[in-house]
Amino acid sequence: MFRRALGFCLLFALLKLGGAAATTGLIALLCLWALLGKRQALEALALMVVVKSLNPSLYAYSAAFGPLCVALTLLAGLRILLTAGFRGLKPLPPILAFCLVVALLGAARDNPNWDVSAMKLFMFGYGGATLLAGFASLNDRDAERMASWLINITATVILLSLAALPFKGIAYGGFNGFRGILGHPQTLGPVLAPITCWILAGMLFHKGSRLVIPVAISLVLIAMMILSQARTSVVAMALSLCATFLVAAVRKKTFTGFRLGRSLGLSMAVLMISAVSLSASPGLRNTLTNFVFKYHSKTLDKALSSRSEGVAAQWNNFLEHPWAGNGFGVYADGVFPSGVVRVMGIPISAPVEKGFMPTAVLEETGVIGTLSLFYLLASMARRVIRIGDPRWMAMFFACLFVNVGEMVFFSLGGIGLYFWLLMGLCTRMGTADAIKLSNPSRRITTPIPITSPAPISTGI
C-alpha cells in the first residue's frame, strides 16, 4: 500500500531539483489530470495543497503558481459537480444553505470589504461542495484508492520531515518549532493530528487491532507534534479521542467493534507509563514544559495569551452585532495586517488569523450564521458516525478540533483544503459502511481493509 509513498518522495525530490519551473509545471499537469475523472480531480487537489505548503527553504514558486492553483481548484470543481449525479449532490444542501444564509446576512449590513467576503464565501462554498460531492459520488474501488492516495501523501510528509530533522536550517528555519518539509510548525503539527488519531483510535477502541506497531508509530508522531510546539495539534488529538469514546460508548449498537474495557484499560496504562516517564526523566519534563509554556512564558495565562486575547476581542465584536456578525472572512475593523492581493480588481488573497473557531464564527456571522454552520457540521458528523468505526470518526473530529487553535475550516485556498479532503474521505467511508450495515445481503467492498495501522503520513 505504501509503495506510492516512495513515488511521492521521488516526486518531491524532483521538485526540489527543478525549482520554480518544476512546481509550476506540476500544477499545470495536475490541471489536465483533474479532467480525467472525479477521483483524479480529488487526487490533484490533494497533491496541490501539499505542494503549496512545502518548506520555502527547499522549494521555489513562480508568479504563475498561485493563479494555476486557483485554476486547478475551479477545473476540479467543474469536473466533479457536472458529473456527480444525484448521489454526489445529496450531501450539498447543508453547505449551500450555510452559504445562502451568510450571503443574505452580508447583504443586510454595511461591509467595507464586501468583495473580500463574497470571494471567500464563494471559494468556501465551491470548494466544500466539490469535495463533498466528489467523495459521495466515488464508487467503492475509487474510494479505497483515494484513501490510499491521502494516506501515502501524509506518510511522505512524515518521512521527509523526519529526514530533514538533522538539518536545523531546514527543519526549523528560524522558528522555535519543528516544521519539517512544510512551511511552518503550525502547519506540520495540525497535519499530523488526524492521522495520529486514526491510529490511536484503532489501537484503543477497535476490536482485534494490534498494539506494538501502532504504539511505536503513535509515539513518533506525538514526538513530532511536541517538537513542532503546535499545542493545537495535541489539544485536537485529546479532544478527538474523548469525543470518539463518548460517541462510541453511547451508540454501542452502531459501534459493534468497540470494547469499553479495552479502551479504558489501555488509556489507564498510557497515563501510568506517562506519569512514570515524566517523574524519571528531567529532560522529558523540560521538553513538555517548554511545549506548554512556549515563548518563555512563566504562567499558564501568559502561555495562552496569544489565543485568549484574540478570543476576547472576537467575543466583544460579536456582542456589538450578535445576530448578523461583522462580515464573513474579514476583521471587524476592516483592516487586514497582511493586506489584500487583487488581480484586475478581484481579491484573490486576504489572510486572516483568528485562531479559535467558535468565537470567530460568532464574530463573523452572528448567531444566525453559527446555527446554519452547526447544521452543516451535524450533517457531516452524522454521515461519519454511521460508519461504526471509531478510526474514521476520530480522524473527522481531529480535523474539526484543530480549529480550536488554528481556524482553517474556511481556508480552502490554504491548508484547510487538506483537512476538508480528510473529512470528505471520512464521510464517504461512513456512507459505504452505512449501506453495508443497512443491507447486509448487498455485497460491498470494505472501504480500506487495514487492521493494523501503518506509518502515515495552513489563502482564501
- Per-residue pLDDT for 269 more than 80? no
**Residue labelled with grid coordinates 479559535:** 356
The predicted structure's pLDDT at residue 447: 40
**Residue 440 pLDDT > 90, yes or no?**
no
Domain boundaries, the chain: 3-258+293-438
- Give the model's pLDDT for residue 445: 40
Mean pLDDT lowest for which of 138-152, 261-275, 413-427?
Answer: 261-275
What's the pLDDT band for 449 if we cut at 50, 70, 90?
very low
Enter the DSSP assignment of 210.
-
Question: Could you report the per-residue pLDDT of 100-150, keeping only the tens digit for each?
Answer: 999 999 988 878 889 999 999 999 999 999 999 999 999 999 999 999 999
Buried-exposed string 319-358: b where 16+ CB fall within 10 A, e elsewhere: eebeebbbbbbbbbeeebeeeeeeeeeebbbbbbebbbbe
pLDDT of 237-246, one tens digit each?
Answer: 999 999 998 9
Instruction: Name the more confident of 395 and 257.
Output: 395
* Cα–Cα distance list, 254 to 248, 260, 267, 387 (Å): 8, 14, 22, 8
Residue 365 has pLDDT above 80, yes or no: yes
Specify whether the CB–CB gap between 366 and 145 falls below 8 A: no
Entry pTM: 0.88
pLDDT for the residue numbered 444 = 38
pLDDT band at 437 (very low <50, low <70, confident <90, very high): very low
Between CA 158 and CA 165, with CA 163 as vertex, the angle to 5 degrees is 95
Distance CA 229, CA 49 (A): 22
Average pLDDT over residues 256-266: 69
How high does pLDDT run on average in the chain? 86
| Cβ–Cβ < 8 Å for 369, 101 | yes
Phi, psi (rounded to 5 degrees) for 342: -125, 145
Query: What is the pLDDT averaged over residues 219-233?
Result: 92
pLDDT score at 208: 63
Residues 6+ apart with CB under 8 A from 369: 98, 101, 102, 105, 324, 325, 328, 361
pLDDT of 335: 84
180 closest CA partner among 154, 198, 199, 200: 154
pLDDT of residue 273: 67
Residue 220 has a pLDDT of 92
pLDDT in tens, 277-332: 656 667 666 766 667 776 555 554 554 556 778 888 999 999 999 999 999 999 88
| In the predicted structure, residue 448 carries a pLDDT above the cut 50 | no
368-385: burial string, b at 16+ Cβ within 10 Å, e else? bbbebbebbeebbbebbb
Helix 390-401 vs helix 416-438: angle between axes, to the nearest 10 degrees? 150
Percent of the chain with pLDDT over 70: 83
336 vs 71: which has the higher pLDDT: 71
Q: Does 25 score more than 70 pLDDT?
A: yes
Calculate mean pLDDT across residues 201-224.
83
CA distances 58 to 6, 154, 174, 354, 425, Å, are: 19, 18, 14, 28, 30
Is the pLDDT score of 442 beyond 60?
Answer: no
